[in-house]
Amino acid sequence: EVARSAMAFRNLAPGAHLARVNGAPGFVVTSQGRTFAILGFAFANDRIAEVDILIDPDRLARLDVSGVVG
């Protein structure tokens, strides 16, 4: 299931913009001019320990990502 979900994001890679998400490295992903997802990473021992993904369209619509997406 995780691999299948990750493959869905592969097609969106051209719309991925590096960003700080909650103070840590992450991505804002856009598709067709709209924010599709925000991914945030948590690290432990120099490795990604957790990935948080926000894809709720209602919540995304309330966020200002203009400083990231140009």
Structure confidence by residue, pLDDT tens digits, 32-56: 888 989 999 888 998 888 989 999 9
Cβ(68)–Cβ(17) under 8 Å?
Answer: yes
Q: Which two tokens stand for residue 52?
A: 């948080």
Neighbours of 28 (CB within 10 A): 22
Q: Which two tokens stand for residue 47?
A: 């490795």
Residue 5: the pLDDT is: 67
Cβ(40)–Cβ(28) under 8 Å?
Answer: no
Report d(CA 46, CA 6) in Å as an integer: 21
Residue with the larger pLDDT of the pair 57 and 32: 57
